[in-house]
Structure formats: structure tokens, C-alpha cells
Structure 1
Amino acid sequence: MSRLLFLLTLTFSLSLGAMHDATAQERSLETTAAVMDQKLAASEADADAQAKHQVSRLISQKFGVARAKAEQISAAVMSAASKYSLPPALLLAIISIESRFKENARGANGATGLMQVVPSAHKKLVRNIDLTEADANIEAGSAILHGYVQSARGDVDAALKSYGGSKAYAEKVGLQVKKISSQFDAEPAGAQAGY
């Protein structure tokens, strides 16, 4: 009987040791995963900051927008692009065509601001919004474009036709997207430090 008790105690001790080792390994894996998640988040934040800087530099240099305003527009574009799953170059192309980055731009049918949002066509969306304010205008314009993309089942050209009113507009935006994208691709890695 004492031999059986000894074997049970030994077996139980070994089981506890194995459970302790498994728990320690699990904690170690959790810690490693948490560290990796932190590094990935830091890397993504760095990439986002670099992308925002690149966009603001382009806006400032190509369209003569003051640095602080270019940074604000860049942040709004990157935020809306992420929120609505739209390429930043697409939003930049629309803004460059619609308003040449002039916040107070006015167009036909009351089109207002950077993305030339037409309040009468989107009353519910733009109610109580100052469309001459960059963040609000880019948010509203991106939401409208996103809605058109969804209605067109992902067909960006069809969405652009709805946004701008014609096939020619969609083609013009497409060409501008290519120009803007090529400027990002062509920028040397070390050129990100200054304006």
C-alpha cells in the first residue's frame, strides 16, 4: 500500500511539475506575443507617420499649401482613407481636381470645400457640418464616395462617375491617381526629412 501511495504521490508531483512547466511556457508565449504586438503596432505607427509626412509634403510642394494646413489635410485624408477603405491617392486626386486644395472653393450646385460636396444632394450627411473645414469636408466626401463604391459593388470607376457626374471625370481622376502614386513611388527614401 505504501508503494502504491508513493507511486501516486510521484505521479501527482510529476503531473504538477508538467502543468507548472506548461503554464510557464504559456506565459512565456503570451509575453512574446505581447512584445511582438507592441513592436508591430510601433512599426505600423511609424509607417503611418511616414505616409502622412509624404502626403503633406506632396500637398505643400505641388499645390503650394502651407505646411501646417498640408499636415492637417494629410491627416484627414489618411484617416478617411483608412476608415472607408479608400486609397489615399484617390482622395488626393479628387481634392486636387475638385478644389486644388482650396478649402473655401465653391462650385456648381453649391459644391463646397476640398472635395466639392454638394449639400443639397446629401442633406442628411452634411447637416450641421461646416464644409469649408478640411476635416469635415474630407470625412463627408469620403463617406459619399464610399457609399457610391458600395452601390457600384466595388467598381471605383462607376463610383467616380456618380461622384463627378461623368465618365470623363472618372478618367481624369484615374490619371491623377497615377500621377500622385508615381510621385510617392519616385520619392527617395532619405527625402522624407525636410520640405
Structure 2
Amino acid sequence: MSRLLCLLVVSLGLMQCAVAQDRAQADALASGVSVMASAPDAASASTAPQIHAISEMLAQKFGLARAKAEQISAAVMSSASKYSLPPALVLAIISIESRFKEKAKGLHGATGLMQVVPAAHKQLVKNLDLTAPEDNIEAGSAILHGYLQSAQGDVGAALKSYGGSKAYATKVSLRAKDFQFDTAASDPAGSR
């Protein structure tokens, strides 16, 4: 359980960034100024080292082409930030569900990187191409976020809902350690 707490602590930094962006947007709306152009640039600049570290690891460990690794890394960071999820958790799910194969197919029509089941989430996946990394990671992250809300923040319970078993939740939690990054040093192994 302490590993899950560590993952949640890592996500606090992302949550603080999201809260700051929400405040900026609220202030801008109150003053009639749009911050849509500046906020994403600031967020992407602050996550660029982490995106690079993740993409390097994906290219080395999973054999992804650099451009594909960058695309997936950016989509993970964007969705993780949007839904206040630890990027390591999203990456662990992708690694277990599809081994980073974007056209992966599974049981009950499960599709893409996060193995989203369209029949179970019809409204959410309407008009999405689940084989496109951005769409799939967005949908999978939204689903996981919904399970987290339903479980009142209990990551284990949310993962159990996502994957269907306690064993799945444990497997994802353990795998997430492999995806924790020290962005200051850009060392994918972190501080082992």
C-alpha cells in the first residue's frame, strides 16, 4: 500500500500544476482575457524533460520508434495532468494491457494502448479512434479517473474496477515502479 501512497504523492505535483492552471483560467475569465495560448505552453515546457525521459525508455525497453514514443509520452503526460493521475500509473496500465502496441485487440472488443472496451463506455468513446494513442490514452485515463472518483481515491479499488481483479491492481501497482522518473536527472531508473 505504501507504493500506492508514493504514486499519489508523485501526482501531487501534477495536481498543483492543474490547480494553478485552473486559477489562472478562472482569473482570466473574470477579467475577460483568454489564457488558452499561454497555459498549455507553460505546462508543456515544464513536462518536456519527463516526456523525453519516458520516450527514451519506451524506445529502449519496448522498441518503439522515437516519434511514436514521443507521441505516446506526450499523450500520457497530457492525460495524467488533466485527470490528476500519476504518469507512472498510466504507463503501467499501458504496458500490461498492450505492451505499447496501439492497435492491440483484446476480449470484448478491448482496443488500443489502454484496452478500452467501447461497448462499456459508449458515450465516452463516441467519435474517438481508439487505435490513435491520444484518443485511447484520453479515454482510458478518463475511465480510470471515474473509477478513482467512485472509489473515493482508493487506487487499488479503482485499478480493480479497471482490470477486473485484485491481482490486476497489484500487478499494475508493482509495474508502476518501473515507470517512476527523476526528471531532474532524466534517469528512467529513478533513484533505485
Instruction: Answer whether TM exceeds 0.5 for this pair.
Output: yes
CA distance in 1 between partners of 2:161 and 2:121 (Å): 13
Query: Percent of aligned pairs with the same residue?
Result: 68
In the TM superposition, residue 48 of structure 1 has moved relative to its aligned partner by 1.1
Matched, 1:78 2:113: no
Between Structure 1 and Structure 2, how many residues are aligned? Answer: 149
Q: 2:106: which partner in 1?
A: 107
In the TM superposition, residue 46 of structure 1 has moved relative to its aligned partner by 4.2
Question: CA offsets, 1:112-140, max 9 Å, x none?
Answer: 00000000100110112110000000000
* Higher RCO (C-alpha 8 Å, min separation 6): 2
CA distance in 1 between partners of 2:187 and 2:129 (Å): 35
CA distance in 2 between partners of 1:155 and 1:76 (Å): 24
Q: 1:24: which partner in 2?
A: none
CA distance in 2 between partners of 1:188 and 1:149 (Å): 29
Matched, 1:87 2:80: no
Question: CA offsets, 1:81-121, max 9 Å, x none?
Answer: 00000000000000000000000000001000000000010
Q: 2:57: which partner in 1?
A: 58
Residue 185 (structure 2) aligned to one of 186, 189, 195: 189
Report the AA paired with residue 151 of structure 2: A
Q: 1:171: which partner in 2?
A: 170
* 2:102 and 2:133 in contact (8 A); partners too: yes
TM-score normalised over the length of structure 1: 0.71
In the TM superposition, residue 189 of structure 1 has moved relative to its aligned partner by 2.7
- RMSD over aligned Cα atoms: 2.1
Q: Structure 2 stretches of 5 or more lacking a match?
A: 1-39
Higher helix share: 1
CA distance in 1 between partners of 2:100 and 2:169 (Å): 19
Structure 1 segments of 4+ aligned residues over 3 angstroms from their partners: 41-47
**Using a 3 Å threshold, how does the CA distance of structure 1 residues 43 and 129 change in structure 2: closer, same or farther?**
closer
Matched, 1:132 2:118: no
